[in-house]
């Protein structure tokens, strides 16, 4: 075929396929058959292969997935991606309305469904998708273009060749989650917990083939720069985005006036919620007039012109069959509810933590009760209350245990604390829990050393303490001979153990299981101390000075690194060859930030303290909560506290809002 002719046909095919895609995935109204679509797609693929000079990043052939990236690039949002303040009842909505009216605005609102997914920002140049980013901390997100291209409802080419940014939600339809979980259940893989985590997990894949398989979808609901297009209301912005080819939730969105109409919308959506093909977790209420939005402005965290009404968590009934006790790695005893399995918000619940004796007594739970269950924070199942009117008299009173269910030693309860502890440091339950924790995904992430296998290895006597994990190769023959551990899986396991030696320090630090140190705190700490020796040499104040570390955590850390047994353990791990340094995540550098110690005080209008703190840390700075001679810079917002006076007193460099904003804007 002639070049000119090929180019023309390529353009024609792209336009046919884009339209077909739009009809199918945005309008839900296909005009051609799947076979026809595939035929055109194959023809286009062949032509693009033959005439690579006409290749395009936004060709419909790029939707199939297969692009693999080696890491997520950071992307700074030109306009911060804010979230919304949550409200939980109509009174709070009335208060929101009153605040707005007090500003002299007579509002019309747009009510929308609050889609349960993750927000995305899409950027187009001359009508072509150039990149897509996650929200991240609101200031900086991650480039997820390779995965977003596989989402069929995201147009790769718009209906007009304009430059534009739009924002919306990426979500996983309920049916897709069900299908994936059915498959995973058959393959004995852990189930995906809910649509939001499933969508977020899919979008955070380096290999876009996985995202493509997950059949994600979008609703677009926000235009950050409406004035560039002469748009006056949010409703017009929605219509405009729809005309450009985006999937806008037209049938769900509604312009309303007055609280009564908002209430009606909420009532309707509460009833319809379960029959929608996607999850919604609430309603978003936005002031329609963009001029009024501008007048109302923003707080440091949220727009003042919108709120999210969150639905009350779904509650279901089941029977409390038993209460069993587990021993954690610190010796803490937890009572757990054993429930008749029920589905709550898409996943099966069989167990729920009951925290401690007081909690069970406060809820007045009896074994045999009918209880209501909900998902707290939509993920962790929680027993809400017993249905006392359903009692038959056969229910059995709860009795707190007095001895450790594993080693039998007498439990202790410290004064004014609620938890019971097994104090026997040699208690097998404590030891095996500590080992399970060390190998777990967020800690050393040793593939093949899941909870049950670690427990087996512990019971068999092969692994009694952490260093034994790294000596498992001595037991290779035993392992191969054990039922269930094939030759190949033993090799894989030993390789995974060997690989874990190279982990960055935050994994080891978290894996050591220091009381109160979660994975995020571990990361924050290693960014500051850089190496294990940094921790071993630190004084109490070095811990306490860190923003986010309170006196209890500081004491835990100090005690841990001054305990002789722990020091011996760390020395042994060093000898084994486990990495003892923070390897960084391609840490970014900025002359004014890297290596400096910051203290933040007062309110900043363009961001909140947590986000700014994270940003400074990601550039190799550190933050602490109090000003000392070691502080390099104090960042001062509106209504600063005494830290400002202290900074002046100690003659420490002070940056005002304008200064920090100009630095952040140019990162
Ligand atoms: S508007 C400045 N509209 O809910 C306005 N958000 O807590 C930004 N969300 O981060 C958001 N459905 O991820 C908006 N119809 C909708 C939404 C929606 C879901 C999410 C979004 C946002 C969070 C707000």
Determine whether 43 is exposed, middle or buried from the number of CB atoms within 10 Å of its CB (0-12, 13-18, 19+).
Answer: middle
366 within domain boundaries: no
Q: Each residue of 414-438: pLDDT tens digit?
A: 777 899 999 998 899 999 999 999 9
- Domain final residue, candidates 308, 338, 367: 308
A 10 A CB-CB count for 272 gives 12
Domain harbouring 141, CATH code:
3.30.470.30
For the chain, the domain total comes to 4
Phi, psi of 578 (to 5 degrees): -80, 135
Catalytic residues: 114
- Going by C-alpha positions, the residue among 249, 244, 223, 248 that lies closest to residue 234 is 223
Predicted local confidence at residue 587, as pLDDT: 56
196 within domain boundaries: yes
Closest CA to ligand 1's atom 12: 114
Residues 152 and 295 in one domain: yes
Span 23-39, average pLDDT: 93
Using the mean position of ligand 1's atoms as its centre, give its distance from the Cα of residue 217 in Å. Answer: 15
Domain harbouring 45, CATH code:
1.10.287.610
Predicted local confidence at residue 114, as pLDDT: 97
Residues 10 and 48 in one domain: yes
Q: How far apart are CA 143 and CA 120, in angstroms?
A: 10
Mutate to test the pocket of ligand 1, among 86, 114, 311 (most ligand atoms within 8 A of CB): 114
Using the mean position of ligand 1's atoms as its centre, give its distance from the Cα of residue 256 in Å. Answer: 18
Residues 162 and 262 in one domain: yes
Q: Kindly report the CA angle at 290 between 289 and 295, in degrees rounded to 5?
A: 100
Q: Each residue of 262-307: pLDDT tens digit?
A: 999 999 999 999 899 999 999 999 999 999 999 999 887 899 999 9
Q: Crossing angle, helix 451-460 and helix 428-439, to 10 degrees?
A: 130
Using the mean position of ligand 1's atoms as its centre, give its distance from the Cα of residue 297 in Å. Answer: 17
Using DSSP's 3-state secondary structure scheme, residue 375 falls into strand
Residues 290 and 227 in one domain: yes
Q: Each residue of 179-209: pLDDT tens digit?
A: 998 888 887 777 777 888 889 989 988 889 9
Domain harbouring 615, CATH code:
3.40.50.10190
Q: Each residue of 477-515: pLDDT tens digit?
A: 888 877 667 778 888 899 999 989 989 999 999 999 998
| Mean pLDDT, the chain, integer | 91
- Domain final residue, candidates 308, 337, 365: 308
From the CA of 85, give the closest atom in ligand 1. 7
Predicted local confidence at residue 365, as pLDDT: 97
Residues 613 and 560 in one domain: no
228 within domain boundaries: yes
Using CB distances shorter than 6 Å, the residues near ligand 1 are: 82-84, 112, 114-115, 119, 169, 221-222, 284, 303, 306, 308
* Parallel/antiparallel/unpaired status of strands 306-310 and 86-87: parallel
Domain of 295, in residue numbers? 74-86+107-308
From the CA of 253, give the closest atom in ligand 1. 15
Predicted local confidence at residue 272, as pLDDT: 93
Domain harbouring 527, CATH code:
1.10.150.20
Span 22-44, average pLDDT: 94
Does residue 314 surpass a pLDDT of 80? no
Using the mean position of ligand 1's atoms as its centre, give its distance from the Cα of residue 614 in Å. Answer: 22
323 within domain boundaries: no
Residues 7 and 29 in one domain: yes
163 within domain boundaries: yes
Residues 223 and 299 in one domain: yes
Residues 297 and 163 in one domain: yes
Q: Each residue of 317-342: pLDDT tens digit?
A: 999 999 999 998 888 999 999 999 98
Closest CA to ligand 1's atom 21: 119
- Domain final residue, candidates 532, 547, 576: 576
617 within domain boundaries: yes
Residues 559 and 621 in one domain: no
Q: Each residue of 86-112: pLDDT tens digit?
A: 999 999 999 999 999 999 999 999 999
From the CA of 113, give the closest atom in ligand 1. 15
What residues contact residue 293 under an 8 Å CB cut-off, 6+ apart? 234, 286, 287, 303, 305
Closest CA to ligand 1's atom 2: 82
Using the mean position of ligand 1's atoms as its centre, give its distance from the Cα of residue 84 in Å. Answer: 7
* DSSP designation for 23: I
341 within domain boundaries: no
Residues 34 and 81 in one domain: no
Predicted local confidence at residue 377, as pLDDT: 58
114 within domain boundaries: yes
Contact 17, 23 (CB under 8 A): no
Q: What is the pTM of this model?
A: 0.61
Span 576-581, average pLDDT: 92
Residues 547 and 601 in one domain: no
Mutate to test the pocket of ligand 1, among 77, 170, 284, 378 (most ligand atoms within 8 A of CB): 284
Q: Each residue of 512-548: pLDDT tens digit?
A: 999 889 988 999 999 999 999 999 999 999 999 887 7
Residues 37 and 111 in one domain: no
Using the mean position of ligand 1's atoms as its centre, give its distance from the Cα of residue 85 in Å. Answer: 10
Does residue 378 surpass a pLDDT of 60? no
């Amino acid at each position: 075929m002639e070049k000119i002719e090929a180019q023309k046909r390529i353009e024609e095919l792209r336009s046919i396929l884009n339209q077909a895609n739009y009809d199918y995935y945005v309008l839900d109204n296909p005009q051609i058959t799947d076979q026809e679509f595939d035929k055109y797609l194959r023809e286009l693929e062949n032509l693009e292969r033959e005439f690579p000079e006409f290749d395009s990043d936004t060709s419909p052939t790029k939707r199939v997935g297969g692009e693999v990236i080696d890491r997520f690039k950071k992307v700074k949002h030109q306009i911060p991606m804010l979230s919304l303040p949550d409200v939980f009842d109509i009174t709070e909505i009335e208060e929101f309305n009153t605040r707005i009216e007090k500003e002299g605005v007579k509002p019309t609102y747009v009510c929308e469904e609050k889609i349960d997914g993750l927000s995305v920002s899409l950027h187009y140049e001359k009508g072509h998708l150039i990149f897509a980013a996650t929200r991240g901390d609101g200031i900086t997100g991650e480039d997820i273009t390779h995965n977003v291209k596989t989402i069929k409802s995201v147009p790769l080419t718009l209906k007009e060749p304009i430059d534009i940014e739009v924002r919306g939600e990426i979500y996983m339809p309920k049916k897709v989650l069900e299908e994936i979980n059915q498959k995973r259940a058959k393959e004995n893989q852990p189930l995906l917990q809910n649509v939001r985590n499933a969508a977020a997990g899919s979008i955070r894949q380096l290999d876009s083939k996985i995202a493509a398989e997950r059949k994600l979808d979008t609703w677009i609901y926000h235009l950050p720069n409406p004035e560039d297009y002469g748009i006056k209301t949010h409703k017009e912005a929605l219509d405009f985005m729809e005309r450009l080819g985006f999937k806008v939730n037209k049938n769900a969105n509604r312009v309303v006036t007055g609280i009564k109409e908002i209430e009606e919308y909420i009532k309707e959506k509460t009833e319809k919620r379960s029959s929608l093909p996607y999850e919604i977790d609430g309603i978003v209420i936005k002031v329609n007039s963009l001029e009024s939005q501008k007048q109302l402005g923003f707080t440091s965290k949220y727009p003042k012109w919108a709120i999210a009404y969150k639905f009350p968590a779904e509650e279901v009934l089941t029977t409390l069959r038993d209460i069993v006790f587990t021993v954690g790695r610190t010796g803490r005893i937890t009572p757990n509810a054993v429930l008749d399995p029920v589905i709550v918000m898409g996943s099966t619940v069989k167990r729920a933590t009951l925290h401690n004796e007081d909690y069970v007594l406060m809820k007045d739970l009896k074994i045999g009760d009918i209880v209501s269950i909900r998902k707290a924070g939509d993920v962790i199942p929680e027993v809400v209350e017993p249905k006392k009117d359903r009692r038959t008299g056969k229910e059995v009173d709860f009795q707190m245990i007095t001895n450790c269910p594993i080693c039998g030693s007498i439990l202790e309860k410290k004064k004014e604390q609620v938890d019971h502890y097994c104090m026997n440091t040699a208690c097998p339950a404590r030891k095996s829990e500590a080992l399970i924790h060390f190998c777990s995904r967020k800690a050393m992430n040793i593939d093949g050393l899941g909870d049950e296998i670690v427990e087996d290895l512990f019971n068999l006597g092969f692994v009694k303490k952490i260093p034994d994990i790294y000596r498992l190769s001595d037991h290779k023959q035993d392992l191969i001979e054990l039922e269930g551990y094939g030759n190949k899986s033993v090799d894989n396991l030993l390789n995974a153990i060997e690989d874990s030696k190279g982990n960055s320090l935050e994994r080891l630090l978290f894996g050591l299981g220091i009381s109160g140190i979660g994975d995020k705190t571990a990361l924050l700490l290693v960014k500051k101390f850089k190496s294990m020796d940094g921790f071993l040499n630190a004084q109490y104040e070095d811990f306490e000075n860190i923003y986010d570390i309170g006196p209890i955590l500081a004491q835990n850390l100090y005690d841990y690194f001054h305990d002789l047994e722990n020091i011996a353990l760390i020395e042994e791990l060093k000898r084994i060859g486990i990495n003892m340094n923070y390897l960084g995540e391609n840490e970014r550098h900025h002359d004014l930030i890297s290596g400096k110690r910051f203290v933040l005080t007062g309110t900043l209008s363009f961001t909140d303290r947590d986000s700014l703190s994270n940003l400074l840390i990601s550039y190799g700075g550190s933050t602490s909560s109090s000003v000392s001679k070691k502080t390099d810079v104090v960042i001062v917002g509106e209504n600063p506290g005494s830290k400002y006076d202290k900074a002046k007193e100690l003659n420490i460099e002070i940056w005002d809002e304008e200064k920090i904003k100009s630095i952040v804007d140019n990162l």
